[in-house]
Amino acid sequence: MTEELKDNNIEQVEDKFLAPENRKHTVTGPEGEIIHVDPLQDYYCNERPKAEDPRNKIVEKFLNWARAESLWVLGFGTGCGSIEIPPLLSPRFDAYRFGVAMRATPRQSSVIIISGYLAVKTLKRVIRSYEQMQNPKFVIALGSCTINGGMYWDSYNTINRLDYYLPVDVYVAGCMPRPEAILAAFDKLKTRIKEGRAEGANEYVEKFDWYKANQKKVIKNWNMPDYNW
Amino acid sequence: MENLINKLQDMFAVKDVQDSKKNQILLTVKASKVPALLSFLKEFEGFKVLVMISSVDWIEIGKFQLSYIVNDPDKKNDLIIRAFISRKEASMISIHSLWGHASTFQREIKEMYGIDFPGSPRVDEPFLLEGWDDTPPMRRDFDTKKYSEETFFPRPGRESNDPAEYMKKRLYPDEK
């Protein structure tokens, strides 16, 4: 088996550092058919995202109330603001009493907090995580770095304005905002959701081409699928 | 340390010896003699630890400075070895066979300054910047502000007024 693998892949330079079982190879099935396997390929949906039409007004109001009262936050920290998140959950500030809980994966969460400056390398991962989140999804951006670049406004490697790449619901100014300010941001986000104004996911769908163009202008090695869901 | 410096001046024609701190000496050597000097220090003089390799861009004299910091953990001595290479054809002998982790420093310097280290493992792979296609960003002829303004959609700043003029215009619009 391993010798066969080596023969197939001896010319593929990008596979040089992979373990043999992670390389592209072929497997013979029980009925003699040959299956090509690429263990590292991610399989994604190839369809453009669709906007969700609003439902019955009363149902929508109830749903918005439910969404606002259980905000599940993706545990994703960028920059210096990520250190402000753990005290948020500690007994002193205790975000759990507002229905805010941390989640480990994008598939389970509805809020992503961009906590500080975003390097281009991180932006790529942020976009990927954001697109994997389920609708409806909300973005909170902390710190002046996400608003206008902050102290990294002339850096070669950090973006200046987050709203060119993701639809932002709430900005929190400051460098860095303290946990009280983040609690206030959650409060603000809740009122926005209950008023039905937090339509970031639909906005992302409507201006999808514009967002993608901006993202691809910055991320020069776009070696991931266009639709990350 | 003095004995050692005399020895190095004899063997490797070391110049510009400076005591910068206690137990720390700076010296300059020709770039082609760096691997020999480092291996001599490592094998015979107890400088077993390569602390770091760093680089400075002296654009005025058209040279890159490479600094190799080595440490003697028993006697607690530091040596900083500086070597100058030409800025036009920036290339240096790799020392990854002396210390394995030197290849990481060299990879970073290759990315940030564009100094090539032929033969160093994975030296051409991206380290911090992914897909960088401009001048290496730590070179001083790279204009980071211009690059940022062209790439990252700068937010226009607030308009500011001189208070005296503003109030004059507002209160007495007819006067000049």
**What is the span of the domain harbouring residue A28?**
2-37
> What ipTM did this prediction achieve?
0.79
Across A113-124, average pLDDT: 91
Domain membership of residue A153 (yes or no) is yes
Q: What is the CATH number of the domain that holds A93?
A: 3.40.50.12280
Identify the CA nearest to B84 among candidates B52, B57, B121, B47. B57
Domain membership of residue A100 (yes or no) is yes
Same domain, A24 and A118: no
> Contact, B127 vs B133, CB < 8 A?
no
Q: Identify which of A121, A154, A221 has the shortest CB distance to residue B148.
A: A154
B52 vs A12, residue with greater confidence: B52
Cα–Cα dist A211/A214, whole Å: 5
Biggest CA–CA distance in chain B, Å, is 87
For residue A38, the model assigns a pLDDT of 80
Domain membership of residue A115 (yes or no) is yes
Same domain, A128 and A28: no
pTM to 2 decimal places: 0.81
Strands A71-74 and B63-72: unpaired
Structure confidence by residue, pLDDT tens digits, B52-66: 999 999 999 999 999
Q: Which span out of A29-33, A225-229, B13-17, B82-86 was modeled with the highest average pLDDT?
A: B82-86
Walk across the sheet containing A100-103 and list its strands: A100-103, A71-74, A111-115, A138-142, A170-172
Same domain, A8 and A81: no
Same domain, A102 and A28: no
Identify the CA nearest to A36 among candidates A26, A46, A28. A26
Same domain, A78 and A122: yes
Same domain, A65 and A32: no
Q: Please say if the pLDDT value at position B145 is more than 50.
A: yes
Three-state SS at B101: coil
Across B116-128, average pLDDT: 91
Domain membership of residue A47 (yes or no) is no
Tell me how many degrees the CA angle A132-A133-A137 measures, rounded to the nearest 5: 145
| Amino acid letter, residue B39 | S
Please answer yes or no on whether A154 and B144 come within 8 Å at the CB atom.
yes
Q: Which of A157, A162, A218 has the most B C-beta neighbours within 10 Å, making it the best mutation to test the interface with B?
A: A157
Q: Identify which of B130, B133, B142 has the shortest CB distance to residue A121.
A: B130
Please answer yes or no on whether A220 and B145 come within 8 Å at the CB atom.
no
Q: Please say if the pLDDT value at position B48 is more than 80.
A: yes
For residue A10, the model assigns a pLDDT of 46
Q: Please say if the pLDDT value at position A193 is more than 90.
A: yes
Question: Distance from A218 to chain B by nearest Cα, in Å?
Answer: 7
Q: Which residue in the block uniquely carries the two structure tokens 């902390």? A: A142
Locate the domains of chain B by residue range: 2-155
Q: Which of residues 107-126 of B touch A (CB under 8 A)?
A: 126
Q: What are phi and psi for residue A212, nearest 5 degrees?
A: -65, -40
Same domain, A31 and A103: no
Q: Please say if the pLDDT value at position A106 is more than 70.
A: yes
Secondary structure (DSSP) of A148-199: H-GGGTT-SSB-S-GGGTS--SEEE-SSSPPHHHHHHHHHHHHHHHHTT---
For residue A11, the model assigns a pLDDT of 47
B58 vs A228, residue with greater confidence: B58
Structure confidence by residue, pLDDT tens digits, A132-159: 998 889 999 999 999 998 899 999 999 9
Q: Please say if the pLDDT value at position A20 is more than 90.
A: no
Cα–Cα dist A18/B131, whole Å: 21
For residue B143, the model assigns a pLDDT of 93
Domain membership of residue A51 (yes or no) is no
Question: Distance from A34 to chain B by nearest Cα, in Å?
Answer: 34
Q: Which of A13, A154, A218, A223 has the most B C-beta neighbours within 10 Å, making it the best mutation to test the interface with B?
A: A154
User: How many cross-chain Cβ pairs, A to B, lie less than 8 Å apart?
Assistant: 55
Burial annotation B63-77 (CB, 10 A radius, 16+ → b, else e): bbbbebbbbbeeeeb
Which superfamily does CATH assign the domain made up of B2-155 to?
NADH:ubiquinone oxidoreductase Nqo5 subunit (3.30.460.80)
Domain membership of residue A125 (yes or no) is yes
What's the sign of the alpha-carbon dihedral B107, B109, B111, B114?
negative
Q: Identify which of A124, A148, A218 has the shortest CB distance to residue B151.
A: A218
Identify the CA nearest to B45 among candidates B78, B68, B82. B78
For residue B85, the model assigns a pLDDT of 95
Same domain, A104 and A23: no
Same domain, A76 and A172: yes
Question: What is the rounded end-to-end Cα distance, in angstroms, of chain A?
Answer: 33
Domain membership of residue A213 (yes or no) is yes
For residue A16, the model assigns a pLDDT of 67
- Please report residues of A whose CB lies closer than 8 A to that of B133: 220
> Contact, A91 vs A191, CB < 8 A?
no
Same domain, A67 and A170: yes
Cα–Cα dist B165/B163, whole Å: 6
CB-side neighbour CA atoms (13 Å) of B91: 3
Same domain, A115 and A180: yes
